[in-house]
Amino acid sequence: MRFEEFQHLARLHVLGALEPDEAVCFEAARRCFGDRAEAFLCECRDLAAVFALSLQPVPPQLWTKARLLEKIRQAAKKHVALSEEAGLVLGS
């Protein structure tokens, strides 16, 4: 792998966007390129952090909270139902 290819994968690595087979190639190249690779990774991490800090938070849409709470209620009901069912089976 050329260093330019490593740089491309490094940017994806910092974002957590590497596929498993890409990650294997990336780690091998990282060991091969040594200090040069680590320096580039530090630069990518720094740029990602600066970018993240530059973003302004956006409040969620009104329906988002209601939808999320409904999903939590549904999951809680399902959990209770499964617990009661398991209790009945275990208590028999």
Distance, in Å, from the CA atom of 27 to the CA atom of 12, rounded to the nearest integer, reads 13
Same domain, 77 and 51: no
pLDDT tens digits, one per residue of 35-49: 999 999 999 999 999
pTM reported for the whole predicted model: 0.60
Same domain, 79 and 92: yes
Two structure tokens written together for 72: 């939590």
pLDDT band of 91, cuts 50, 70, 90: very low
Same domain, 82 and 53: no
Same domain, 52 and 16: yes
Same domain, 2 and 45: yes
Same domain, 47 and 64: no
Q: Is 52 left (phi over 0), alpha (psi -120 to 50) or beta?
A: alpha
pLDDT tens digits, one per residue of 12-22: 999 999 999 99
Same domain, 30 and 14: yes
41 neighbors 14 (Cβ within 8 angstroms): yes
pLDDT tens digits, one per residue of 47-88: 999 998 898 888 878 888 889 999 999 999 988 888 777 775
Domain span at residue 91 reads: 59-92
